[in-house]
Structure 1
């Protein structure tokens, strides 16, 4: 007898038994995925958007589809001001937000943009990945926001000019410098002797063409995105301010996740930030290397002269009074005394 081949009767009997057992067993119910929204202002080709989409894909895969985060790029759900409002009300779950915009609800966030505070990326990340960043994140939690432990990078801001080289503060006297809304920029350029002029980012190109403004302060990537380099002749690598977007979450949203899922979300967004930082460094190197062929003149200015001018104007003394002693101390642990 072949023991490996059951009789037809035995097979049918076994099939009936299996069918009965399957009817008696409880059904396996897969939980519906938790759907979340991530609103962003970065365009789809921007490294910020690219890395966020990669992160949401990894999160979906690592959680077996149980966490499904949809990224809405290019301001589809609103600009930065809209995003911070929507995040706090829970209309969205995540956003990326510049430190300067975030400072409207978390004042300490603007400390990372203090003029001529950081001389290099090493110092930026020592501060923002370290004690200073932790203090800012603690302030976020007080208003219902959770910040990821790693920020992304808008990069250092530099000066552009239409018809003059900017090497020292003297070159800025009366210079109509375009600035975004915000006291940090106005205070900085007033202290340097310029004439800060607020112009919406969408109107900068036209403002340069018509002479409403003489120059800008922008990161290299933004100069390229807005085609500013088409209407500017000089770029001074002042690195006068650093700014970066925080990746932030609605506190209630992220606390509603299991510990495992929360850890996966944070891990992947923090990896996205590290990847995007590398993208920006690579772009900056490429931009500077090819500037000559674009008709731009790259200038290495006297950065210490600018910082000395700020000390003399009482800039650091003014802003020290606007931040907590703990935040200022954490900043100077990295930068050294600011004056």
Structure 2
């Protein structure tokens, strides 16, 4: 009888050890939930990508990794969320690389240098190649994992005062800028008054006349309804902004190797989907905005390029010259 009891106790102990070994973070049977925060509306580029990423991650991992999306800056401004990702209280974010993010990773100011890119092909060759990888490596130095780039797009200038055809037309306008050094120099090159405003407060700033204008890609102007408070869009295409995708090291460490690989695959597949989806929307958005009373102009881009040729000097201490030259080549 005693031998039988001893055998039972031994079997129970063995089962307990096996059960404990299988219950670690990121292992089979566990669900890891990734909290992804962004500042866009539910139709913004950030959200379109976040939803596709969520779908792909949950499908690829069989539900062992789930994604919880928090849009509309509900967890704080872009700057707030970047800090939260670094301290691990938020797991992921996607944010314009040349916005508040450039205050943490200074090299990202490179995307605020005017007319650095010729077209989308030039952009994607840069982001998908060695230069893009090098910049993501800079992210890794700040307690975050750089996972890739989604789309924000080529940026255009809007205002509520007048049509813009030349740089002289921008003089005197109060233009909202992203809180990164390159943007103040950019607007001053036109004779505008650069005014930092958090993205989540921009609509009300435009509506109340705190600023006369702003600059963003057409999908952003549409999704955030800036066209309701801006009469004029100048298709300047002065810079291109990628949406850098980052995860806290804390969250990355909760995933096992297979899950990490699948998350990276999901980011990459989302990038392709995102680019194709937004490319199809551009003309539709312009038609919609024109129907809503917005006037479009096609400015002299050569004149804008000439006016801003020295802006790169403003960020020379943060953006190495060889990085700029590599991108140009």
Say whether the fold is shared (TM-score over 0.5). yes
Number of corresponding residues: 308
Q: How does 1:137-216 map to 2 (within 5 A)?
A: 137-149=136-148, 151-201=149-199, 204-205=202-203, 207-208=205-206, 211-216=209-214
- CA contact 1:52–1:269 (8 Å) conserved in 2: no
Local SS of the residue matching 1:142:
helix
Structure 1 residue 45 displacement after superposition: 3.6
CA displacement at 1:273 relative to structure 2: 2.3
Give distance in 2, aligned partners of 1:54 and 1:225.
17
The range that moved more, 263-272 or 45-54, is 45-54
* Alignment partner of 1:108 is 2:104: no
Higher relative contact order (CA 8 A, sep 6+): 2
- Aligned residue number for residue 332 of structure 1: 328
Shift in Å, 1:276? 1.9
Question: 2:87 matched to which residue of 1?
Answer: 89
Say which SS state the counterpart of residue 82 (structure 1) adopts.
helix
The CA deviation string for residues 174-209 of structure 1, in whole angstroms up to 9 with x for no partner, is 222232333221100111222223344455455545
CA distance in 2, matches of 1:292, 1:196: 27
1:126 equivalent in structure 2: 125
For 2:206 and 2:68, locate their aligned partners in 1 and report how far apart those are by CA, in whole Å.
Answer: 37
Q: Are the equivalent residues in 1 in contact too, given 2:171–2:190 (CA < 8 A)? A: yes
Give runs of aligned pairs for residues 305-320 of structure 1, distance below 5 A: 305-311=303-309, 314-320=310-316
Partner of 2:116: 117
**Which is higher, the Rg of structure 1 or of structure 2?**
1
**Is 2:319 the partner of 1:288?**
no
For the aligned residue pairs, the C-alpha RMSD in angstroms reads: 2.7
Residue 227 and residue 48 in structure 1: after superposition, are their counterparts in 2 closer, same or farther (change >3 A)? closer
Q: 1:234 to 1:108 in 2, by over 3 A?
A: same
- Taking the aligned partners of 1:64 and 1:215, their CA distance within structure 2 comes to 46
Contact between 1:135 and 1:327, CA under 8 Å: does it hold in 2? no
Once the two structures are TM-superposed, the CA of residue 86 in structure 1 deviates from its matched residue by 1.7
The correspondence for 1:76, drawn from 61, 66, 74, is 74
Shift of 1:268: 0.6
Q: 1:287 to 1:62 in 2, by over 3 A?
A: closer
Using the TM superposition, name which of 125-134 and 62-71 deviates more: 62-71
Deviates more, 1:90-99 or 1:72-81: 72-81
Residue from 219, 223, 226 that aligns with 1:225: 223
Q: Which residue of 1 aligns with 2:4?
A: none
Q: Secondary structure at the match of 1:148?
A: strand
Deviations 1:70-117 (A, max 9, x none): 333333333322222221122232221221222121111221221222
Cα gap change, 1:289/1:119 in structure 2, threshold over 3 Å: closer, same or farther?
A: farther
Deviation of residue 131 (structure 1)? 2.5
Match of residue 322, structure 1, among 307, 318, 324:
318
SS of the residue corresponding to residue 37 of structure 1 reads: strand
Aligned mates of 1:162, 1:232 — CA distance in 2: 5
**How high is the TM-score relative to the length of structure 2?**
0.83
1:196-234 Cα distance to aligned partner (Å, 9 max, x none): 233444554555455543322222222223333233332
- The SS at the match of 1:87 is helix
Q: Which runs of 5+ in 1 are unaligned?
A: 1-22, 334-339
Distance 1:302 1:53, change over 3 A: same
Please state how far the C-alpha of 1:169 moved relative to its aligned partner: 1.2
Assess if the C-alpha contact under 8 Å between 2:235 and 2:296 holds in 1: yes
Q: Which structure 2 residue ranges, 5 or more long, are not aligned? A: 1-10, 23-27
